[in-house]
């Protein structure tokens, strides 16, 4: 599925003294099968932007297209099943008496049969490493557990596009790594992922393309290496290190992920010592 935003503006509390123009003419496309990262400062419009992808928020002006069709003509329930959005604060999504029921809600609402629902719930809880929490109240969990249950609830709908709003904020490194593995797993299975993150090292690990937002406008958009090397302010430690070393050793090239950077540095060191 391809999602396009065409000159999308979003104004909160329009016409009041609290009016905020959160998106000021954003145009971009989310391509099928990619991991697109949305980065930018606090208040730059990231959450507002991703909430437009399944029309949880509607543009004040401009359009959202799904496979070329105006998203407004599609049924909202179908749209939200195909484009699954995990909120920035998991509390917003949890509501059922226990974790199993919470995760089962989405697929049931889509009309999935009960046997298949049970299978999906068990599979997704397993995948997120929270199968042991199935009978617990979703409100009596730790922050990281709630986050994983909220993601399971969306994944159980088998969305074509998974949208994650700061899914790893405040998680320990091991849990963060597991979640990033889930993101890569979704992509490897042919799904599309849009991930909002403040952690540029994490973005460097998973993103094919990067969108940088500033004050509700797209500051940069493109392949991760192109954006990072053009916008040092938004570059992860790997890129800043490689860019510094490349002044003396141009052979370093433009690595992005930790593994690529390590290989590039080893490459130039190896040549130097021979
Ligand atoms: N419900 C709302 N009503 C009014 N203004 C809002 C509302 N939600 C967000 N805003 C404003 O819109 C702008 C963009 O907010 P948004 O939540 O999209 O930012 P963000 O990039 O996700 O920030 P963060 O990194 O803190 O999550 C901010 O100026 C914010 O104050
Ligand atoms: Mg946000």
pLDDT digits (tens, 9 = 90+) for 197-253: 999 999 999 999 999 999 999 999 999 999 999 999 999 999 999 999 999 999 999
Tens digits of residue pLDDT in 43-92: 999 999 999 999 999 999 999 999 999 999 999 988 999 999 999 887 78
Percent of the chain beyond pLDDT 70? 99
Reduced 3-state DSSP string for the chain = CCEEEEEEEEEECCCCCCCEEEEEEEEEEECCCCEEEEEECCCCCHHHHHHHCCCCCCCCEEEEEECCEEHHHCCHHHHHHHEEEECCCHHHCCCCCCHHHHHHHHHHHCCCCHHHHHHHHHHHHHHCCCHHHCCCCHHHCCHHHHHHHHHHHHHCCCCCEEEEECCCCCCCHHHHHHHHHHHHHHHHCCCEEEEECCCHHHHHHHCCEEEEEECCEEEEEEEHHHHHHHCHHHCCHHHHHHHHHHHHCHHHCCCCCHHHHHHHHHHHHHHHHC
C-beta 19 within 6 A of ligand 1: no
Regarding whether 257 and 228 lie in a shared domain, the answer is no
Regarding whether 188 and 94 lie in a shared domain, the answer is yes
* The pLDDT of residue 134: 97
* The pLDDT of residue 99: 97
Regarding whether 242 and 217 lie in a shared domain, the answer is no
C-beta 197 within 6 A of ligand 1: no
Tens digits of residue pLDDT in 90-110: 778 888 999 999 999 999 999
C-beta 103 within 6 A of ligand 1: no
Nearest CA among 166, 206, 204 for reference residue 183: 206
C-beta 11 within 6 A of ligand 1: no
Regarding whether 187 and 120 lie in a shared domain, the answer is yes
Q: Which atom of ligand 1 is nearest to the CA of 48?
A: 18
All residues at 6 or more sequence positions from 53 whose CB lies less than 8 Å from its CB, including other chains: 3, 5, 30, 64, 83, 85, 161, 163, 194
* The pLDDT of residue 159: 96
Regarding whether 216 and 98 lie in a shared domain, the answer is yes
Q: Note whether residue 200 is domain-resident.
A: yes
Mean pLDDT across 7-23: 96
Cα(87) to centroid of ligand 1, in Å? 13
User: Bridge-partner residues for 65, per DSSP?
Assistant: 4, 70
Regarding whether 244 and 186 lie in a shared domain, the answer is no
Rounded Cα distance between 256 and 253, Å, is 10
Q: Note whether residue 54 is domain-resident.
A: no
* The pLDDT of residue 269: 84
Regarding whether 206 and 264 lie in a shared domain, the answer is no
What's the mean pLDDT when you consider all of the chain? 95
Nearest CA to ligand 1 atom 31: 43
* The pLDDT of residue 255: 97
Regarding whether 257 and 121 lie in a shared domain, the answer is no
Pocket test for ligand 1, best of 8, 17, 44 (most atoms within 8 A of CB): 44
Regarding whether 253 and 164 lie in a shared domain, the answer is no
Q: Tokens in use for 61?
A: 């002006």
* The pLDDT of residue 271: 63
Nearest CA to ligand 1 atom 17: 47
C-beta 48 within 6 A of ligand 1: yes
Q: Note whether residue 57 is domain-resident.
A: no
Residue 176 pLDDT more than 60? yes
Domain that holds residue 250: 236-274
Q: Note whether residue 25 is domain-resident.
A: no
Total number of domains in the chain? 2
Cα(48) to centroid of ligand 2, in Å? 7
Q: Which atom of ligand 1 is nearest to the CA of 213?
A: 21
C-beta 45 within 6 A of ligand 1: yes
273 — pLDDT class (breaks 50, 70, 90): low
CB 54 within 8 A of CB 247: no
CB 202 within 8 A of CB 176: yes
Q: Note whether residue 155 is domain-resident.
A: yes
Residue 165 pLDDT more than 80? yes
Nearest CA to ligand 1 atom 26: 42
Write the CA distances from 66 to 71, 79, 211, 238, integer angstroms.
Answer: 6, 9, 19, 35
Q: Mean pLDDT lowest for which of 38-42, 174-178, 193-197?
A: 174-178
* The pLDDT of residue 90: 79
* The pLDDT of residue 91: 76
Nearest CA among 25, 4, 9 for reference residue 69: 4
Regarding whether 258 and 197 lie in a shared domain, the answer is no
Regarding whether 193 and 139 lie in a shared domain, the answer is yes
C-beta 43 within 6 A of ligand 1: yes
Q: Which atom of ligand 1 is nearest to the CA of 44?
A: 21
Q: Which domain CATH number covers 83?
A: 3.40.50.300
C-beta 46 within 6 A of ligand 1: yes
Q: Which atom of ligand 1 is nearest to the CA of 88?
A: 27
Regarding whether 164 and 143 lie in a shared domain, the answer is yes
């Amino acid at each position: 599925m391809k999602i396009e935003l065409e000159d999308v503006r979003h104004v909160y509390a329009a016409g009041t003294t609290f009016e905020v123009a959160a998106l000021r003419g954003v145009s971009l496309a989310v391509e099928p099968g990619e991991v697109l990262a949305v980065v930018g400062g606090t208040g730059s419009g990231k959450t507002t932007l991703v909430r437009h992808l399944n029309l949880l928020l509607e543009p004040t002006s401009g359009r959202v297209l799904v496979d070329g069709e105006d998203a407004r003509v599609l049924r909202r329930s179908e749209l939200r099943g195909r484009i699954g959005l995990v909120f920035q604060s998991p509390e917003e999504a949890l509501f059922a008496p226990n974790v199993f029921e919470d995760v089962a809600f989405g697929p049931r609402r889509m009309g999935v049969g009960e046997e298949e629902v049970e299978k999906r719930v068990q599979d997704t809880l397993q995948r997120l490493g929270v199968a042991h929490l199935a009978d617990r109240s979703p409100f009596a969990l730790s922050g990281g557990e709630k986050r994983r249950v909220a993601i399971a609830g969306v994944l159980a709908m088998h969305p074509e596009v998974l949208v994650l709003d700061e899914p790893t904020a405040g998680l320990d490194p091991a849990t963060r790594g597991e979640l990033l593995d889930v993101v890569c797993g979704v992509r490897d299975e042919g799904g599309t992922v849009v991930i909002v993150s403040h952690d540029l090292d994490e973005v460097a690990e998973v993103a094919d393309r990067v969108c940088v937002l500033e004050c509700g406008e797209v500051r940069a958009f493109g392949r991760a290496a192109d954006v990072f090397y053009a916008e040092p302010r938004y570059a992860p430690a790997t890129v800043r290190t490689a860019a510094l070393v490349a002044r003396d050793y141009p052979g370093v090239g433009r690595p992005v992920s930790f593994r690529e950077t390590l290989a590039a540095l080893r490459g130039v060191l190896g040549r130097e010592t021979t």
